Structure 1
Amino acid sequence: MHRAFTTTTTRTQTDLAGYWDWVPDAGDVGITEEWYHRFPTGGQQVWVPGVWNTCSGYLDYEGVGWYRTRLTIGECAAALVRFAAVTHQANVWLDGEPLGEHYGSFLPFCFSIPVPQPGEHELVVRVDSTYDMVSTIPSANLDWFRYGGIHRPVWVEELPGPGHISCLRLTPVVAQGKATLRVRAELTNVGEDVIDERWTLLLDEQPLRSGRIRLHPREAHVLLFAVEVPNVRLWTPDDPQLYSARLAFAGDDVIERTGFRSLVVRGTDILLNGVPLHIRGVNRHEDHPDWGPALPLPLMLQDLDLLADLGATSIRGTHYPNDERLLDLCDERGILFMEEIPLWGFSREQLAQDVIANRAAAMLWATIERDSSHPCIWAWSLLNACATDTPEARLVLERLIDIAREADPTRLVTFGTNHALDDACLDLADVVCVSVYRGGCNHDMAWPELLDRTRARIGAKPMLVTEFGAGAVYGHRALADDVPGSEEHQSRLLAEGVRHVQERTDLAGYYVSQLYDTRAAGAERARQPLGDASSRGLLDAYRRPKLAYSTVRALLRPGKG
C-alpha cells in the first residue's frame, strides 16, 4: 500500500486506491457553492493515486479539482484518514464536515476521526495545483511538469483502542564504535477516560526499552530517549542490513525499519562507516507518460533494476521528496539516495519573501520527520539552481542548515549550484554539488578548468558533479555525433562527461542527468518532443534505452557484457 513492508499488526488499514469521482473547478467556486455537501454531477471517474493531467483533455489543466469517494469504517475507538501526498494544497471533508487542510506537494498528512460512526462515509478532497512566482514551493518556474492531483496512496486506519501511537521517528547513530538508536514517539489518548498503560520498544522483536505512562483524556505525551544497541551489523551498499523496530502501547503498535551506518567528511572524502565513498549515480524524476508522478510499485522496481543494470549506485531524487516506497526499496537494495526539498530555481526576490523561507523550513522539518529512519539517505539537499550568489539565499540556507543539523546531525547537508564560480554559499555545505551543462562546458570553459577553479575556491572539501548531460530524442539517429538532439550527440557528450569525472581523484562522485525522459515544464513544452529538459534521459519516458545507456553502462561497468 503506502510502504514496502507491514507498518502495524493491530490496526485495520483500508486502501482507498480505485476510481474516485472528479470534477474540475476552473472558476474556484466549489467552496462558495458547498461542493463538499453537494458534489456536482457531470464529472468523471479518475484513478487515485493519480493526476488529472494524464486524463484526456486535461494535460494543460492547472488549478482546482474536486475528488469524492466513499469509505467504510468498522467498530473502532478512532480512525485516521492518511494521505501520502497531494499536489499541492488539499482541503478535506468527511460527510460535509471539515477534517483539515495541508500544503506541500510531496509530503504526508493525516486527519483524525474521533469516535467514528460505523458504516459508509463520504470523503471529499479539494486539490489546488496552482503555482505562482510569489508563494508556492515549487514555483511556476520549473524544468519539470506541474502536475495536479492525489498522486500518492490514500488509506484509512482504524485504531483498536483510545491509546495510540501518533508518530514514531528513529534516528540511528554510529559513533566511537557504538550504535545508538534515538527515538521520538508521541503517545495519545483519544478517549474520554484516563488510561494507564505500558509501552515497549522492540528491535527485531527483542525488547529494547519499556515504560509506563498515564494519559488524561485528549492528552498526548512525547517520548524522547536513546538506547544503545549491541552487536549491530552496519548497513552498507554491499550488505544492506535492516532492523525492524516495533513500538507497542495500549493495544496499538507501529512498525518502522532502519539501519545503522555512519557518515562523516574527511578532507575531500565522504566516509561511509569509515570507508571512502565514491558515488556513481543518476538523477531521477518521478514521471511516466501513463502515470505522471503516481508511479505504481512494479514500475519503481523496474527503475531500480535498470539502475542496477546500468552500474549506478545512487539516486538523486530530483527535486523533491520521493515516494517512501522507493526509499524502502533503496534501503533493501543498498542504493544510496540524496533527498531534496523542491526549492528549485528561486530568484533573489523570491528568496527574500518570508512565505518562501517559512514554507521551505516547514518542508525540510517534515521531510526529515518522515525519512530519518532510512539508512539509504546520505544527504539532505536544501535547494537547487537558486540565486545562491546573493545574501538573500545565504540567509535562507543558513536557516535550513540549522534545521537540518538540529533535526538530524547524522547526515550531511548540501545544495546544488549552477554557478559555482560566483556562489556565495559554498562554505555552508558539507559537500559541494555543482551542475555542468551546455555540451560539457559551463561559463564558457572546459570541464577541467571549471572543476579546477571550483576546487581552488572550496579547498579540501568533498565535491560532486550532480548534474551533467545532454538531450536526445529516442530514435533520432545521425551519421555524425555533432547533430544536437541525436542519440549519437548525447552519447558522445555523456561519454566525455563520465570520463572527466571518473578521472578526477578529488571528486567524491557524480550524478548523470538523467535516468529517463520526463514530461517537460509547462503545457507548451510538454507538447514539444525536442524539449531539452525532458529528453536528457539515458532511457526514453517508456524506459526504452537510447545509445547513451549502453555507452554509460560500459563506463560504469567496464568488462561487463
Structure 2
Amino acid sequence: MHKGGFTPFQFDATAYLKQGRNVVVVKADNTRHQDEIPTVNTDWWNYGGITRDVLLAELPATYIADYKLQLAKGDARRLQGFVQMAGVAPAQQVTVTIPEAGVKFSLKPDANGRATIDVPVRQLAYWSPQQPKLYAVEFSGGGDRVVDRIGFRTIETRGQDILLNGKPVFLRGISLHEENPLIPGRLRGQGDMRMLLQWAKELNCNFVRLAHYPHSEEMTRLADEMGLMVWAEVPVYWTISWTNPATLANAGRQLTDMIERDRNRASVVVWSVGNETPIGEARNAFMGSLVRTARALDDTRLVAAALEIHRKGRDITIEDPLAELLDLASFNEYAGWYWASNAEMLDFRFDIKLDKPVVVTEFGADALGGYHADADTRWSEEYQDRLYQNQFRMLSGIPGLRGMTPWVLADFRSPRRQHPYFQDFWNRKGLISDDGKKKQAFWTLKRHYDEVQKRYGP
C-alpha cells in the first residue's frame, strides 16, 4: 500500500512470481478523508484512476537503488551526495562518471550499500534559465548501470536577494495545475506538459510554481531541459488534522517522497511545505516539523510555503511565526478580487518587515474567456487585466520583492466553482481559457516581465 497519489512508489515482486504467466491487480482509491493529505476541502478536481506511468523493472541481483549528486552547499567546486546499492551484495564498488566534464571517481559502499560522495571538481558549466546545461552522469556498479541528465547550480538567499549561481535573480513566475484545460483529466504525457511549460515561456517566465501537489517527474525533467526554475509543493492545503500524528506522518512521507524523487533536478529551487494554512499552535508545530524534515533531507535548496496575509487598516502584513523558519517571505493575496475592488486596491500598501526575499505566490481574478466589458465589471477580461496592472503598481512598493507566481496559467476544473454562467465548475483565474485562448491579462503579464527582465537581467 502507498498513500499519496502524486509521488512514485515501488514494490519488489520477486517473491511472488511463479513460472509462466503472472498477473498484477492494482486498486487506485481517490476517496478523500478528513485526516488524509490532501484533506476533503480543496480547490481542484479530484481525479481518480492511474494517472502516471507504470512499469515493470527487471534488475540484476545487485543494483543501484538510489543516488544524489549536486554541488555542495556553499562550495561550487565540490560535488556531494551518495549512491545507495541494494541486493545480494550491496558493498560492491561503484563508479561515477561525467564524461563531458572529465569527472570519474570510484566509491566503496559500506556494509549497507551506502557510499558517500564528497569530491572536488573543476569548474562546471552552471545550469540556468539562459543556459540549461545538463550533463550525462553515469552510475555503475554490481552489474547495474544508470544514466541520468543532471544540471549543476547553486541557489541561496542573502538578505532580500535570491542568488542563482551567486548572482541576483528575479523569479518571473506563474502558478499552474497538472491539468490540460483542453482535455479532461491529468496531463497525459510529455506533449501536454510541454504545452503548459511553453505557455510559461511565452510569458517570459523563468520560474513556475507547480501547485498544489507534486507534479509528474517528467514535468521537472522538462523544466530542467527548458530552463524553468521550479517551486515544488506537497498538498498540505488549507485546514487539515493538525493534531493527528498519522496525518503529520503522512505529510512528512509525501514531502520525503517528493524530495527523494526530485533532488537531482537542477530546476527545482524551492521545496514548499504547504499552501494557505491558518495560524494556530498545532498548525505551527505541524508545519515546523515539515520544514525541519525538508532541511534534513536537502540543504541545497530554499524551503518556503505559501502563507496568508493579514490586513491592518490599509496595511498588508505577514504575522505568521512560520515565516521565521522559511527562506522566503512568500504569500498569497487577492486584493481587487476577494477583498477591495480594482478602484479600491490601490489604497492599500504592503508592510513586510521580514529581511527576506519577498515572493508573491498568488494574486489574480476570475475572467470568463471572451466576456468583455469595462474594467469595473467583474468576470470580464478587462477587469482581470486592470487588476494585474494595479497589482504591479501595488507590488512595486515592496523593497524586497524578488518574484511572483500569479494565479494561474490556465483555467482548471474545480467542484467548488459553481456559478452557472461565469464558472460552471471551472476556476476562471487562468490567463488562458478552457479553449486554449489567451486572455488580455496574459499579454499584460508578459509586457511586465519583459520590463522586469530589462531591470533585473535574465
TM-score by length of 1: 0.73
Match of 2:137 among 245, 248, 254: 245
**Residue 549 of structure 1, CA deviation:** 1.4
Q: Identify the residue that residue 180 of structure 1 maps to in structure 2.
A: 78
- 1:471 shift after superposition: 0.4
Partners of 1:400 and 1:461 lie apart in 2 by 20
Residue 137 of structure 1 aligns with an amino acid whose one-letter code is I
**Aligned residue for 1:200?**
95
Unaligned runs of 5+ in 2: 311-316, 454-458
Question: Structure 1 residue 168: deviation in Å?
Answer: 2.0
**Residue 438 of structure 1: CA displacement?**
4.4
> In structure 2, what is the Cα distance between the partners aligned to 1:214 and 1:398?
33
Identity over aligned residues, as a percent?
29
Give SS of 1:344's match: coil
Do 1:501 and 1:510's aligned partners in 2 also have CA atoms closer than 8 Å?
Answer: no
TM-score by structure 2 length? 0.89
* Matching residue of 2:448: 555
For residues 72 and 107 of structure 2, the distance between their equivalents in structure 1, rounded to whole angstroms, comes to 22
CA contact 1:174–1:261 (8 Å) conserved in 2: no
Deviation at 1:110, TM superposition (A): 0.9
Q: Work out whether 1:355 is the aligned partner of 2:276.
A: no
Summarize the Cα distance change of 1:268–1:442 in structure 2 as closer, same or farther, 3 Å threshold: farther
Matching of residues 532-543 of structure 1 within 5 Å: 534-543=427-436
Contact 2:329–2:358 under 8 Å retained in 1: yes
Query: Quick one: distance in 2 between partners of 1:526 and 1:257?
Result: 46
Q: Which residue of structure 2 aligns with residue 94 of structure 1?
A: none
Deviates more, 1:268-277 or 1:550-559: 550-559
Structure 1 contact 174–260 (Cα < 8 Å) conserved = no
- Tell whether the 8 Å contact from 1:494 to 1:548 is kept in structure 2 after alignment: yes
Root mean square deviation, CA, Å: 2.6
Partner Cα distance (1:223, 1:499) in 2: 52
Q: Which amino acid aligns with 2:444?
A: T
User: How far did residue 128 of structure 1 move?
Assistant: 1.1
Are 1:106 and 2:6 matched, yes or no?
yes
Cα distance between partner residues in 1 of 2:133 and 2:433: 33
**1:389-444 deviations in Å (ceiling 9; x for gaps):** 21112111221111111111111111111234442322111101111114167589
Report what 1:85 is aligned to: none
Which residue of 1 is the match for residue 38 of structure 2?
138
Select which of 129, 153, 169 maps to 2:53.
153
Asked if residue 431 in structure 1 is aligned to residue 328 in structure 2, the reply is: yes
Distance between the aligned counterparts of 2:364 and 2:37, measured in 1? 26
For the 8 Å contact 1:436–1:442, the answer to whether it is kept is no
Question: Does the 8 Å CA contact 2:368/2:422 hold for their aligned counterparts?
Answer: yes
Task: Give 3-state SS (helix, strand or coil) of 2:42's partner.
Answer: coil
In structure 1, how many angstroms separate the alpha carbons of the residues matched to 2:22 and 2:447? 56
Correspondent of 2:106 among 206, 210, 219: 210
Q: CA deviation at 1:171?
A: 3.2
SS at match of 1:148: coil
- Provide the secondary structure at the position in 2 that maps to 1:123: coil
Q: Contact 2:187–2:193 (CA<8 Å) still a contact in 1?
A: no
AA matched with 1:416: A
* Residues 1:169 and 2:63 aligned together: no
Aligned to 1:28: none
SS at match of 2:423: coil
- 1:515 is paired with a residue whose SS is coil
Structure with more of its chain in strand, by fraction: 1
- Pick one of 338, 355, 366 that aligns with 2:231: 338
The code of the aligned residue for 2:77 comes to A
Q: Specify which structure has the bigger relative contact order, considering alpha-carbon pairs within 8 angstroms and separated by 6 or more residues.
A: 2
What is the rounded CA distance, in whole Å, between the counterparts of 1:428 and 1:531 in structure 2? 40
* TM-aligned CA deviation for residue 298 of structure 1: 0.9
Q: After the TM superposition, which of the residue ranges 113-122 and 460-469 deviates more from structure 2?
A: 113-122
- Give the alignment of 1:107-506 within 5 angstroms: 107-114=7-14, 116-117=17-18, 119-133=20-34, 135-159=35-59, 161-173=60-72, 175-176=74-75, 178-190=76-88, 197-204=92-99, 206=102, 208-212=104-108, 221-289=113-181, 290-347=183-240, 350-387=241-278, 389-420=279-310, 421=317, 422-439=319-336, 446=345, 449-452=348-351, 455-456=352-353, 458=354, 460-478=355-373, 480-502=374-396, 504-506=398-400
In structure 2, distance between residues paired with 1:526 and 1:243: 49
Note closer, same or farther for the CA distance 1:417–1:448 as it changes in structure 2 (3 Å cut). Answer: farther
Decide whether the 8 Å contact of 1:440 with 1:496 is kept in 2: no
Find the aligned partners of 1:532 and 1:503 in 2 and give their Cα distance. 36
1: CA distance, partners of 2:104 / 2:368:
55
Check the 8 A contact 2:242/2:286 in 1, yes or no. yes
In structure 2, relative to structure 1, the CA distance for the partners of 1:240 and 1:527 (3 Å cut) is same
Quick one: distance in 2 between partners of 1:538 and 1:332? 24
Q: Distance in 1 between matches of 2:20 and 2:103?
A: 38
Distance in 2 of aligned mates of 1:102 and 1:326:
22
Q: Quote the residue 1:6 is aligned against.
A: none
Shift of 1:113: 2.5
Contact 1:179 1:260 in 2 (8 A): no
Residues 440 and 497, structure 1, Cα contact 8 Å, conserved in 2: no
What is the distance in 1 between the residues matched to 2:305 and 2:90? 46
Q: Which stretch of structure 1 is more off in the superposition, 118-127 or 202-211?
A: 202-211
Instruction: Supply the distance in 2 between the matched residues of 1:527 and 1:181 (Cα, whole angstroms).
Output: 56
Cα separation, 2, equivalents of 1:501 and 1:235: 29
Give the C-alpha shift of residue 321 in structure 1.
1.0
Secondary structure (helix, strand or coil) at the match of 1:240 reads coil
Once the two structures are superposed, residues 56-112 of structure 1 have per-residue CA deviations (whole angstroms, 9 ceiling, x without a partner) of xxxxxxxxxxxxxxxxxxxxxxxxxxxxxxxxxxxxxxxxxxxxx111111001111
Structure 1 residue 275: deviation in Å?
A: 1.1
Task: Give 1:371 shift.
Answer: 0.7
Gaps spanning 5+ residues in structure 1: where?
A: 1-100
CA distance in 2: counterparts of 1:292 and 1:237, whole angstroms: 29
**Do the aligned partners of 1:172 and 1:258 also contact (CA within 8 Å) in 2?**
no
Instruction: Tell whether the 8 Å contact from 1:474 to 1:487 is kept in structure 2 after alignment.
Output: yes
Q: Secondary structure of 2:199's partner?
A: helix
Compute the displacement of 1:244 (Å): 2.1
Quick one: distance in 2 between partners of 1:356 and 1:166? 28
Shift of 1:518: 0.3
Matched residue SS, 1:405: helix
